[in-house]
Amino acid sequence: MLEIRDLHVQFHNRDREAVAGISLTIRDGEILGLVGESGSGKTVTAMSIAGLLPRKQCDYQGDILLDGDDLLHAQRALLRQMHGKKIGVVFQDPMSAMDPLMKVGEQVAEVLRIHTDMDAAQRRAEAVRAMALVELQDPESLYDKYPHELSGGMQQRAMIASAIVIRPSLLLLDEPTTALDVTIQAQILELLKKLNREEHISMLFISHNLNVVRKLCARVAVMQRGLIVEEGETEKIFRHPQHPYTKHLIEAIPTRESARRVKGERRAKKAAEATAAAKAAQGAAPSASAASAETREEGGIR
Ligand SMILES: Nc1ncnc2c1ncn2[C@@H]1O[C@H](COP(=O)(O)OP(=O)(O)OP(=O)(O)O)[C@@H](O)[C@H]1O
Ligand SMILES: [Mg+2]
């Protein structure tokens, strides 16, 4: 459904191409993972698909075809129309993506105001439907709340609702769970799986977190310095990475064992610090307050 052919993006103020000739296909109904080091060109790739490239600040070439329509070179008006209808976008930080002065439900419905001729009542009904779909409890009353009244997880659900309210066929997700804690992250992943399965929305899922990609994506592409260095079935790549950079990424994934070791080391260091601080303060054994501060800290370590 989406085909990128030999995409190049060169920002005028940079000496190296942000995207240096990538080709990528997202098939109907699939979730494709896109991973790679910081600055490797993942977001610029997503922005190119979403029509959000600052066109005056860069040169770009290649093709991005969505169901046969060219997205990269289309005129602004056509592009806006296609994006409103076919592509939804979700970025990392829901708090900064939401307008603090606008009701949550209105933000979800906003894209309908721009791209459809629905009246206010229809827009509200569609927004409530999308909010229910992303499992926001009591969407009717949530509609009239403001972003600060929602938790981080709820805000991200609201952002996903605003991306799918128009029933897009493709969702671009750029680090959508990075700002969330582990439990909420897991819930959002389940939600994305459900939307993919039940609403038949294809997805490009950008993440630093290979474990997350492994849970969600059947296929993955690995980027480094503007290029895709490896691409294929996620499980295959995890088991037999070919490119040195992919091997490095997979070796760097914390295992349970290494996480336990790091936690143990941190705990020992904290205990030593607390003892030293207490001795320095009193010339005696660690005080009760130093010990309890240590316990609190430990509770916070994951
Ligand atoms: N508007 C811009 N003007 C100039 N250079 C840019 C612009 N946006 C991105 N770049 C550059 O393009 C390159 C790719 O950036 P991009 O944001 O796509 O990386 P990324 O893979 O998404 O990294 P991260 O994992 O940190 O989000 C970087 O060198 C970045 O500095
Ligand atoms: Mg990025």
| 4-15: pLDDT as tens digits | 999 999 999 999
Domain residue limits, the chain: 2-242, 256-300
Q: How far is the CA of 46 from the centre of ligand 2 (A)?
A: 9
- From atom 9 of ligand 1, which residue's Cα is the shortest distance away? 44
pLDDT at 275 over 70: yes
pLDDT at 172 over 50: yes
| 93-105: pLDDT as tens digits | 767 788 999 999 9
The highest-level CATH class for domain 2-242 is alpha beta
- From atom 13 of ligand 1, which residue's Cα is the shortest distance away? 18
Phi-psi map region of 238: left, alpha, beta (phi>0 left; psi -120 to 50 alpha): alpha
Q: How far is the CA of 241 from the centre of ligand 2 (A)?
A: 23
Amino acid at 63: D
- From atom 11 of ligand 1, which residue's Cα is the shortest distance away? 18
CB 205 within 8 A of CB 124: no
- From atom 28 of ligand 1, which residue's Cα is the shortest distance away? 39
pLDDT of residue 115: 85
Ligand nearest to the CA of 55: 1
- For a pocket test of ligand 1, which of 10, 14, 16, 59 has the largest count of ligand atoms closer than 8 A to its C-beta? 14
- From atom 30 of ligand 1, which residue's Cα is the shortest distance away? 39
pLDDT of residue 207: 92
> Please, which pLDDT band fits residue 300 given cuts at 50, 70 and 90?
very low
Query: What CA–CA distance (Å, rounded) separates 255 from 66?
Result: 38
- For a pocket test of ligand 1, which of 11, 22, 45, 227 has the largest count of ligand atoms closer than 8 A to its C-beta? 11
| 76-98: pLDDT as tens digits | 777 777 766 789 999 877 677 88
Residue list, ligand 1 pocket, CB within 6 Å: 11, 13-14, 18, 36, 38-44, 54, 57
Q: How far is the CA of 8 from the centre of ligand 1 (A)?
A: 13
Average pLDDT, the chain: 87
* Bridge partner residues of 35 (DSSP): 222
Concatenating the DSSP letter of every residue in the chain gives -EEEEEEEEEETT-SS-SEEEEEEEE-TT-EEEEEE-TTSSHHHHHHHHHT-S-GGGEEEEEEEEETTEE-SSS-HHHHHHHHHHHEEEE-S-HHHHS-TTS-HHHHHHHHHHHH----HHHHHHHHHHHHHHTT-SSHHHHTTS-GGGS-HHHHHHHHHHHHHTT--SEEEEESTTTTS-HHHHHHHHHHHHHHHHHS--EEEEE-S-HHHHHHH-SEEEEEETTEEEEEEEHHHHHHS--SHHHHHHHHTSPPHHHHHHHHHHHHHHHHHHHHHHHHHHHSSSPPHHHHHHHHHHHHH--
| 105-162: pLDDT as tens digits | 999 999 899 888 999 999 999 999 999 999 999 999 999 999 999 998 899 999 999 9
- From atom 17 of ligand 1, which residue's Cα is the shortest distance away? 43
